Amino acid sequence: MINENTQKLLNSQINKEFFSAYLYLGFANWFGDLGLNGFANWYTIQAQEERDHALLFLEYMQNNGLNIDLEAIEKPVQSFEKSRDILVEGLNHEKFVTDSIHTIYEAALENKDYRTTQFLDWFIKEQGEEEKNADDLIRRWDLFAEDSKALYMLDNELAQRVYAAPDLVLS
């Protein structure tokens, strides 16, 4: 039912999601070093979500008896010229992940693999939210970063983010 190409793409998505977690941990470290602990918290939780995404792809493959081949996780970029560059990198990365998920979706659809397209529906919605969140962060940075009091308040707000497990339960 799940063809070889889709299987390969699902397998590689596990790696991309773990890489995303790694990338965001680097972002969290950057902001933590600057004393922007709210931003650091925001990206640490984002990393936890990405790890969850990787595990969901892994579990989906396991549940469907597919062969899993864990690949090496690339070293993420960890130094930037400016903090804003990180936020832009975050948005660009989410767009890349969206494209990657769309590619899997297209492969599954071409193969009439509706089980996989249904599984991916959750991720397509999630990517919409993640791109919006990343875009919002850039906008808010542009509005507030120059004003230290406003930046302090934004950082405090981001410090309130708490981890929540994904609401996707696989059968």
Q: Does 131 bind ligand FEO (CB under 6 A)?
A: no
Report the interhelical angle of 37-63 vs 148-158 (nearest 10°).
30
Give the whole-angstrom CA distance, residue 53 versus residue 158. Answer: 21
Q: Number of residues in contact with ligand FEO, rule: CB under 6 A? A: 7
Residue type, 141: W
Residues in the chain: 171
Supply the minimum distance, in Å, between the C-beta of residue 16 and ligand FEO: 8
Site string for ligand FEO, 87-126 (x = CB under 6 A): -------x--x-----------------------------
Supply the minimum distance, in Å, between the C-beta of residue 20 and ligand FEO: 5
Cβ atoms of 146 and 84 closer than 8 Å: no
**40, 50, 61, 86: which one contacts ligand FEO (CB under 6 A)?**
50
Exposed/middle/buried for 15, CB within 10 Å: 0-12, 13-18, 19+?
middle
- How many other CB atoms are found less than 10 A from the CB of residue 130? 23
**42, 53, 60, 108: which one contacts ligand FEO (CB under 6 A)?**
53
H/E stretch holding 167:
none
**44, 86, 119, 130: which one contacts ligand FEO (CB under 6 A)?**
130
Supply the minimum distance, in Å, between the C-beta of residue 112 and ligand FEO: 26
Binding site for ligand FEO (CB under 6 A): 17, 20, 50, 53, 94, 97, 130
